[in-house]
Chain A
Amino acid sequence: MAVTLTINGQRRDFDASPEMPLLWFLRDVAGLTGTKFGCAAGLCGACSVLMDGVRVFGCQTPVGDAVGKSITTIEGLTQQPLGKALVEAWNEVDVVQCGYCQPGQIVAAASLIATNPKPDDAAIDAGMSGNICRCGTYPRIRAAIHRAAQIHAGEPA
Chain B
Amino acid sequence: MTGTTRRDVLIGSGLFGAALMVPVAFGSSRSRAAGAPSLAGNTWLGVDAQGRVTLALPKTEMGQGILTTITMIAAEELAVRPVDVVVSIPDGDSVRFAPIDQGTGGSTSVREVWQPLREAGARARIALVNAGARQWGVPAAECDAHDGAVVHRPSGKVLAYAALVAAAAAAPLPTEAPVRPASAYAVIGKSHRRLDGDAKARGVAEYGIDVVVPGMKYAAISVSPIFGGKLAGVDEAAARAVQGVTGVIRGADVVYVVGDNTWAVRQGITAAKAQWTADAASTDTQQAGVIAAVAAALDKPGFVAATSGDLEAARVGAAHRFSATYTQPFLAHATMEPANCVAHVHDGQCEIWTGSQIPGDARKAAAKRLGLPLDKVTLHNRLMGGGFGRRLEADMVERCVDLAKQVPFPVKLIWSREEDMSHDWYRPAYADHIDIAIGADGKIAAWEHKIAGSSIMARLLGPAFKGVDDDAVEGAITPIYPARARKVTFQQQESLVPTSWWRGVGPLRSAFVMESAIDEVAHQVGADPIAFRLAHIEDPRARAVLEQARDKAGWGTAVAPGVGRGVAVIHLWDTYMAAVAEVTVDKDHQIAVKTVTVVVDCGQAVNPSGVAAQIDSGIIFGTAGALYGEVTIANGRVEQSNFHDYRVLRMNEAPVIHTTLIDNHEKPGGMGEPPNAVIFPALANAVFAATGKRLRNLPLQKGLEAG
Contact between B65 and A95 (Cβ–Cβ < 8 Å)?
no
In the assembled complex, A54 has its CB within 8 A of some CB on chain B: no
Q: Chain B 198-213 against A: per-residue CB contact (8 Å), 1 yes, 0 no?
A: 1011111111011010
Tell whether A67 is near chain B: CB-to-CB under 8 Å.
no
The 0/1 profile, CB within 8 Å of B marked 1, for residues 109-138 of chain A is 000000000000000111011111111111
Q: Complex: how many Å from CA A131 to CA B654?
A: 13
| B203 engages A94 (CB within 8 Å) | no
- Complexed CA–CA distance, A38 and B200 (Å): 16
Q: How far is the CA of A87 from the CA of B10 in the complex (A)?
A: 24
Say yes or no: B621 contacts A136, CB within 8 Å: yes
Chain A nearest CB: distance from B208 CB in Å?
10
Q: Give the chain A neighbours of B383 by CB distance below 8 A.
A: 98-99
Task: Digitize A71-97: 1 where CB-to-B-CB distance is under 8 Å, 0 elsewhere.
Answer: 001111011000000110011001111
A66 shortest CB reach to chain B, Å:
14
Least CB distance, A63 to chain B, in whole angstroms: 9
Given the interface pairs A129-B652, A134-B335, the reply to whether A31 lies near B10 with Cβ below 8 Å is: yes
Closest to A127 in B: B651
Of B21, B64, B201, B417, the contact of A38 (CB 8 Å cutoff): B417
Asked whether, in the complex, the Cβ of A98 is within 8 Å of the Cβ of B203, the reply is no
| Contact residues in B for A78 (Cβ distance below 8 Å) | 201-203
**With the chains together, A125 CA to B651 CA distance in Å?**
6
Alpha-carbon distance A132/B417, docked complex (angstroms)? 14
Whether B644 is near chain A, meaning CB under 8 Å from some CB there, is yes
- Binary interface encoding of chain B residues 378-399 relative to chain A, with 1 for a CB under 8 A from any of its CBs, else 0: 0000011111100000000000
Among B10, B16, B63, B191, contact of A76 (Cβ-Cβ < 8 Å): B16
Q: Which of A100, A106, A128, A140 contacts B336 (CB 8 A)?
A: A100
Q: Is there an interface contact between A41 and B198, defined as CB atoms closer than 8 Å? A: no
| Chain A nearest Cβ from B447, distance in angstroms | 33
Q: A40 and B651 in contact (CB under 8 A), knowing A78-B203, A106-B201, A137-B617?
A: no
A75 near B20: Cβ-Cβ < 8 Å: yes
Which A residues lie within 8 Å of B613 (CB)? 94, 97, 137, 140
C-alpha spacing A94/B644, complex, angstroms = 29
Min Cβ gap A9→B in Å is: 9
A91's partner among B6, B17, B197 (CB-CB below 8 A) is: B197
- Chain B residues contacting A28 (CB-CB under 8 Å) are 218, 261-263
Q: Complex: how many Å from CA A87 to CA B199?
A: 10
Given A28-B262, A138-B620, A142-B651, CB of A41 within 8 Å of CB of B644: yes
Contact among A8, A36, A131 for B16, CB-based, below 8 A:
A8
Contacting B at CB under 8 A, from A25-39, are 25, 27-39
What separation, in Å, do the CA atoms of A78 and B651 have in the docked complex?
23
Minimum C-beta distance from A61 to chain B (A): 13
Say yes or no: A139 contacts B261, CB within 8 Å: no
How far is A97 from B64 in the complex, measured between Cα atoms in Å?
6
List the B side residues contacting A79 at CB < 8 Å: 19-20
* In the complex, chain B residues 641-659 whose Cβ is within 8 Å of any chain A Cβ: 642-644, 648-654, 656-657
Residue positions of B touching A, CB distance < 8 A:
6, 9-10, 13, 15-17, 19-21, 23, 62-65, 191, 193-194, 196-198, 200-207, 209-210, 212, 218, 243-244, 261-263, 266, 334-338, 383-388, 414, 416-417, 609, 613, 616-621, 642-644, 648-654, 656-657
List 20 extra interface pairs beyond A94-B609, A97-B64, A136-B616, CB under 8 A: A17-B243, A17-B244, A31-B6, A32-B16, A33-B209, A34-B203, A46-B336, A87-B198, A91-B193, A94-B613, A97-B63, A98-B62, A98-B387, A100-B63, A100-B335, A103-B201, A103-B203, A136-B654, A138-B616, A138-B649
